[in-house]
Copies of this chain bind each other. A is one copy, B any other.
Amino acid sequence: MAVTDTNSWTGIREELLRRIHDRVWEPGAQIPHEADLAEEFGCARTTVNRALRDLAESGLVIRKRRAGTRVALNPPQRATLTIPIIREEVEALGKTYRHSLLERAYQPVPPMLHGVFHASLGEDVLYLKTLHFADERPYAFEERHINLDTVPQARERKFEVSSANEWLVHNAPYSRGDLSFSALNADEDTARILDCTPGTALFTMERITWTGDAPITHVKLIFAAGYRMRSTI
């Protein structure tokens, strides 16, 4: 019994998954060795290994070298969420993308960012206000600060043709970033810009990216009403 349809590693993964799900192997319990499973399924150990590795990557089982493989007690719920470039996101919806630069200024570091941009307190940052459109309807409103200490080449960029986001992605690769998501009631200005009524709940994403210890940029994106961010586990 327990013969999988195919001997593909995905087939074996499904069968292992079934056993975990059906509590043939309870949470915390040790599961048979790769070699035993390989024999049972009539396949090579490599194939079982691939299936188990995949389950381990998704956090369902814990593997240790000599200790064997056991079913995770608290399978972590991790989701990888892809933050697309807005232009691509819009174009993926089959709509036409356009953006418009509302404001471009050199400013001292705003108080809100003193904590993170402290490295360049004396220096000005490049401040950009951009509105992204999908089929000529407002899609997202972007406020951005660029650290000119870290990315001095940005000082000369107009950011009228290609958006700051795309330029930075290609020219200032970051090593890490902090993200936060929240809901926001539209104030008068935002409502006007995003073409909604004041008070509308808007999905907001804030992001600060760094290269090493140096902050590159801070972005606040306020999406038009009805936006949903999607992801899969």
Contact = CB atoms under 8 A, between A and B. Distances in A.
A209 interface: yes
Contacts of A21: 172-173, 211
Interface string A7-28: 0000000100110110100010
Given A174-B233, A178-B230, A180-B230, A212 B74 contact: no
A177 B78 CA distance: 10
B76 A229 contact: no
A82 interface: yes
Contacts of A17: 173, 175, 211-212
Contacts of A183: 183-184, 201-204, 227
A169 interface: yes
A166 interface: yes
Contacts of A232: 176-179
Contacts of A174: 233
Interface string A139-180: 000000000000000000000000000100111111111111
A6 interface: no
Interface of A: 14, 17-18, 20-21, 23, 27, 59-60, 74-85, 88, 166, 169-185, 199-204, 209, 211-212, 226-233
Contacts of A204: 183
A166 B74 contact: yes
A231 B77 CA distance: 13
**Residue of A17, A174, A184, A233 with most partner-chain B CB within 10 A:** A233
B169 A229 contact: no
Contacts of A233: 174, 176-179, 209
